[in-house]
Structure 1
């Protein structure tokens, strides 16, 4: 994996390209698996287990690992919520380990390849094996979050304060482009499934598997181009894992010394939970409530990926002019409009859904990329991995309150429209909380130099 080098924060263009490519690698999981194919496919497998045969609204119930009987349509959001509940305990420990490891590339590779392997193993989710699929998704989503924690912790080491918004935005743009390319291949499979001799379920299953293969293949690029650096927080005292658990408690206690960083983190966890829930459950909403076919749904989500590429770069450029904080606030106002419009979309009509997808694409990449770079300015030096471990609790595909609220709303009302409009609370509350954060003072309080424009 390469030897440890002494470089502190200087990076070459080659190394930054390597860092960008892990966004290319993992975005296939976010896009093809979480956003498009797994939700509807896992739901259909669970419906089959419940004895449903293609009804618009399945009234059967399935066992949730022997703990409860639930509606099949609630399984995917519940599993997303469960996986993130578990990552609350896993990711901060992984971050602490990253700060104490001089071989962060190996740590990132470990989680990346475990996640990719679990994703590829979803090829065995056939018949009524919904619990197998749910279990593999649990492993993949936790491993995904863990790998991205280590990935994020490289950002302050490869980009200075005035470069970070741009570098983060380019990385996110690369990710949406890469995720879009694989999704384009899978879209082609949807349209040509008859020629391939596959049905819709087989297209979904092999598309999910392709994301695992893509994730593993492109992870090799950062493994070659990124450089290891000395441990940011000094070497571990004894076992890296034990020291990571010890440092987790220290990190939680130290947060009270940086109340403004904590306040921003809370705001982010709220509004990004809403963003991630919309992304993860858009395909379920489009399929089950709006009754749109894969021939409409999948190309629309593909369009969102390429618009998000442009949106991330565009909002990164806007942040250079008005600052990342104001740009994120603008994006949250637009997200609020998106949810209201989604609630009122007519069923069975493709054009309004496609137009809404275009709006999502414009604000999607920028709001996430700028949040990442802005948070990196609020982290005390040497604690990047620890703090990004807390941050990642609500990053790509790892929200939990949103899916839980969505699942409860659907489980109690049977209406996907009520479930989608319930997500408004995340954007409204998140906007108010972020508006209250004095960003420049927060950066200085963390011991960092603010960028020229905030």
Structure 2
């Protein structure tokens, strides 16, 4: 096999005024994809779809409370977390294939458009979830969630191309802030519609379906901005066989090569394993909290929306605050402290009495203060553990691994509820992810890991 290297311009190779202006224009377009798709994560996945799809499944359940997708008996209350889990498995199967196609062709933008509009269309079609159509709801959830994961992978892969190293933290943070701002804005509108649905002449069910569909329309509409401003670049490396034909399965071959290379850095792998465990717990809390609040605590949809809105607002302040703590105590200690806070928050949630909105808001505030910082500091800490020149492929494995285990938390949540019939036991089961993640992370000697990766060791880490 021969390799023809095609050199492409990177974001920091030219910094004249015209190139800088073009780069900033592309960056501003890039921000808007987070603005477009984050509404799906907040309004659909976190707030409305879990309780609504659960109610639709219950309407279709037999007298014992079970639905039977494909003839399999499933407790109606477990259907939503099972569907979330299956959607992640589908995403993990798709991401290497789509990523390989993007790297091989250099045409990320058409693939981003296909994934984004597939997800937006599935989300918009949730308007038709009524009566006992739980199977339709599960199918649309799987399609939308998998498409969103694939699109985010492609979106994130633009960052090294549109920002030089010294700008990436700021550019990435702005995109993240755009997403939380959009989520907060749309949740406020959703709350007005839901609370005043009678004034608008629609039923409560219709109001929820409008909120679901509007998230899809928002996603699709604002995706036009990054598609107009982002540009494709030729692939950096083009592999050819001896006969000049394209190789088979380059994505799988690259993935295996990356994993083999990572074996030479076992401490980097050790951190990655710890992150996978506790991040799975974080993602599960985000996706299942509204189900717990509505089904176990008997809280109203307006209370749940208000709590999620509180999380969105405080997540920005929490991330900035944890960033300041990291400058004083180091990223590792700050992350470990956040995992203790996650554990205590879930423990407190287990003991919340029914119909206690004040307690639920306090828990939402605690989650918001540690949510953004836990993930932001984990990503920045991992960046120190990546060998120079291996950033793209290591972060590709990071993204794939992130999605690869995030099915386990919803599965454990659903199984625990199926076995016990208690959402309290289900939410408490997630403590295991934070405890185990804490133990695994505490055992990683990050200074030695950074040095072994060939990077300078910061004074505070």
TM-score scaled by length of structure 2: 0.87
> Which residue of 66, 75, 84 corresponds with 1:61?
66
> Which residue of 283, 286, 304 corresponds with 2:290?
283
Match status 1:30 vs 2:6: no
Query: 1:261: which partner in 2?
Result: 268
Gaps of 5+ in 1: 53-58
CA RMSD of superposed structures (Å): 2.7
TM-score scaled by length of structure 1: 0.88
Query: 1:112: which partner in 2?
Result: 116
State the distance in 2 between where 1:439 and 1:161 align: 22
Q: Is the 8 A contact 1:18 1:226 kept in 2?
A: yes
Q: Superposed, which structure 2 residues align to 1:60-139 within 5 Å? A: 60-66=65-71, 68-139=72-143
Query: 2:308: which partner in 1?
Result: 301
Q: Is the 8 A contact 2:40 2:216 kept in 1?
A: yes
Which of structures 1 and 2 has the bigger CA Rg? 2
| Shift, 1:214, TM fit | 1.5
Structure 1 residues 431-440 or 93-102, which shifts more? Answer: 93-102
Query: 1:235: which partner in 2?
Result: 238
| Shift, 1:274, TM fit | 0.4
| Shift, 1:61, TM fit | 0.7
Q: Is the 8 A contact 2:11 2:163 kept in 1?
A: no
Structure 1 residues 333-342 or 118-127, which shifts more? Answer: 118-127
Structure 1 residues 334-343 or 214-223, which shifts more? Answer: 214-223
Classify the secondary structure of the residue corresponding to 1:257: coil
Label 1:200 to 1:377 Cα distance change in 2 as closer, same or farther (>3 A): farther
> Which residue of 329, 354, 361 corresponds with 2:336?
329
Gaps of 5+ in 2: 1-6, 14-19
| Shift, 1:41, TM fit | 0.9
Q: Is the 8 A contact 1:193 1:200 kept in 2?
A: yes
Deviations 1:158-200 (A, max 9, x none): 5566655554343322211111111111111111111122222
Count the aligned residue pairs.
443
Match status 1:427 vs 2:430: no
State the distance in 2 between where 1:317 and 1:46 align: 45
State the distance in 2 between where 1:240 and 1:212 align: 37
State the distance in 2 between where 1:429 and 1:147 align: 30
Q: Is the 8 A contact 2:349 2:363 kept in 1?
A: yes
Label 1:7 to 1:176 Cα distance change in 2 as closer, same or farther (>3 A): same
| Shift, 1:135, TM fit | 0.9
State the distance in 2 between where 1:209 and 1:241 align: 40
Q: Is the 8 A contact 1:165 1:370 kept in 2?
A: no
| Shift, 1:354, TM fit | 0.9
Query: 2:56: which partner in 1?
Result: 45
Q: Is the 8 A contact 1:123 1:209 kept in 2?
A: yes
Runs ≥4 residues deviating over 6 A: none
Q: Is the 8 A contact 1:272 1:394 kept in 2?
A: no
Q: Superposed, which structure 2 residues align to 1:50-449 within 5 Å? A: 50-51=61-62, 59-66=64-71, 68-158=72-162, 164-232=168-236, 234-235=237-238, 237=240, 242-380=249-387, 384=391, 386-393=393-400, 399-448=406-455
State the distance in 2 between where 1:39 and 1:88 align: 22
Deviations 1:387-430 (A, max 9, x none): 44443356589821111111011000000000001100101111
Deviations 1:42-92 (A, max 9, x none): 11111111157xxxxxx41101333x1011100011111112223333223
Higher relative contact order (CA 8 A, sep 6+): 1
State the distance in 2 between where 1:177 and 1:433 align: 33
Q: Is the 8 A contact 1:165 1:374 kept in 2?
A: no
Q: Is the 8 A contact 1:173 1:310 kept in 2?
A: no
Q: Is the 8 A contact 1:93 1:247 kept in 2?
A: no
